Structure 1
């Protein structure tokens, strides 16, 4: 008969990717034949004898027959049984059921799921689930990142959760989940890449080139900050006002003096800082823009006024970067010692030719060298009027009827108002405003124009009136003025006549008295020449031997080299004295 079956394995442990070999041996005579059957969990039997090979050994005890089964089991065979059956003509032997433990991997590769999907903020706790369904046994999952790992596997699910707190170093970092299985053909590594939002660094300002800068140049200020995630956004503030956004470089220029001392700072932000209400601001910097000194006079005037002979003061201020030293010059002569930012020029008893002074401001830049500004200031020196010349432009003496011009030349600042006055009766003849020369024109000179002419110049200086006068004499030569009869006295045989001496016409004058008894001038008698006692005085002439009760005519003749003037009176002689009324006849 068939002996008991001897098995090389008491159980089958294999995987679906490998062949498993098991031996089944019996001793029998005649030699037994073998049948291999696999029985699944549904008790379905499948003959797999074809996958076996027989070997035989002959001995006195009988033939030893060995069947070697080499078979690759599938996952459907798991938890089933394997049975070896030996049979000869005398007996049949069956092995006990050999348990089948067939290992098979999951059908899919594992997957990773982040509990809170999408980007995470630095400092947050992240949960990563790595899992895969199926397989026998279930796959083994291992994380390669540090953290707290929790196993949530079941009979059909392999699942591990990685818990960790992320920081900015995790951005772009990969955590791998390694899946292994007794079936060595199953080995997978999957990765999860973190997107971590985090803050940029606190910004710092940098300048290109380094300050100080100079007016006219164009420069850049850089807002330096380690990049955050997501991308940083930049804001620039100039003197507290938003200047430019979303650029890490602020270009300034061309620079002006107004840019000096401007306060600049930048803000850096991204979605992370906005969500967490974080304000990242650089330390402010004040711009250092150097420029040539600026010169400013008192009240920013370019021209000043002074009065000749009086003391005068003017201040020169300087603004600039760097600060300047200031001094005064005139005609390349230094008047003051250089002083910081302000120089005061004091002029003692200023003269009219001191009209231009130069203020010099000098600063020294360590980077750009000496910076020099020069600015003139004109000082208009006012001075009182002075008649430098007054004259009659014709040759004197002059004859009546000639035209003549009187000239008055005045030196003053500002220009004077010039008046001509005839001093004899204080008559204002003409007036010219704002002139340095004034002319009085007489178209036809007359003896009445004789006399002294006064030129009066008046100037207003800083609200105060100043005046001066000068005189010249106009001499017009003509025949004498007509004598003026004061009294005519007629007696019975005598007559007395008194007259006033008038202007002599500019030449020596003499007087003669003629008289006659009828209108035709018959029997005309005359006196000798009478000398001129002087203008305004009077002369008296007495006539004797006249006829009684007769009308007489009396004529006074005033003469000089240029002609004569006469006046005639009449009177009746009577036996009684009486005064006759003068009768003026001009010839």
Structure 2
């Protein structure tokens, strides 16, 4: 269309308006996108031509037209035309035809605003051209136009607009993807997106093979979807997948991204150990401890501790069960102690998820050499005194049983047993029938005697006096009892004991001082051997201060012994400390000074009295 036509358009249009200013056009019932209008000839006023216009709502509203004007009475046909959907990467064949006319019209092509050359297929009374278009995504929304011209006049056009289907420009992305460590019960939000493409890709989700519905966040040029998953242990080793589909590959995926879950969860079963609780076992025996726990991811780690110390077990872990065994050779040091199997796992880092223990009750006998008796051996005692014996045996499980026999007869002691010590006390009054007799403490374990301890009594008792003859009846050749026993506690913490020796019975005799202060009789360790004198003196030291002591003398020779019936008594003095000595000295000096002053005062008073008396006379 030239400048001339544009200038005439205004007046030319007025010629086609009705009196009411309306423009009449006709619609086609069979083809809604086709209208018909009538135009008058510029040269013959009575001549009217029909014009058909094909239109659409696309980028190019007029897609074709036909006019009955003799020079343009040609129908432009194009296939395809209008808006067509084409997949990027394919070639599209366009054909344009116009029938009639002389000479035939010229057909030209323009695509995306640029002139392109088609293949001329004109023959006889048909103008025809074919254009092969290699379509890519740059054609999306663009058009190709076939234009028919006669000489220099355009008599018609046909247009095709491309809706190009092309894949997204970027790769499908998902976060997180690959392998994902996650605790059972935790939630994770998966984000999947892909940019570009026409139309925008469709994203779908599958978890453990089942369809899941995500949250659509698609924008103008980017397909995006998120999916929040709360993970439990059934997800372990399974995946969630984001799948992209699009019309460039109908019925097939154009992209897939996955995340595989490594679900951290605690074992399904409780920790078990055999044996557990309390275990009776003999010292020297061995026991194999078996500890296991099934399930969990990862499998639990099992460690051993015995008596508080780490021990190394034998690992027997399988696919779904953590298992460990530990063989322990038990001795008596295990008694009352435990071995523990401890389970740890990533669900509770740094802490135990389970613990099982076995406490050993180790059966072992005590050592016979550990029997202790006080006193033991030969014990010298005085007739009529109370004797206390204590027997102990340390160790053993269970503890040993202690029994008493005195003068071949069973006796019952007082049980003093504690947690790891068997103990018994026997208290009785000694008379002369115990002389030369013994008391025995016997230890039995599991009905077997494991040891004994014995004490033999040397009983000191007075001789028998015949009241008719006043004659002392002595054992033949035994010494006579010492007499004139005297004790003087003049020292600090000591006493001087003296006595007169009796007849020695024809054998050299010796003497030993016996003393008592708390109801028990003690022997002073120093022995005095007979000499030419009958008078003997011995200083007994290391005595308790401020205590009353009673002394007797034991005389003995190779035949026998006898104890004096005479007794010596005294109270032992305490040693005076230097401070106390100083105080006593100071007090003495003070008393002396007071005495002198009193004497001088008395003399003065007497002198005054005498003078007054002389004056009166």
TM-score normalised to structure 2 length = 0.47
- The structure in which a higher percent of residues are strand is 1
* Structure index of larger Rg: 1
- The structure in which a higher percent of residues are helix is 2
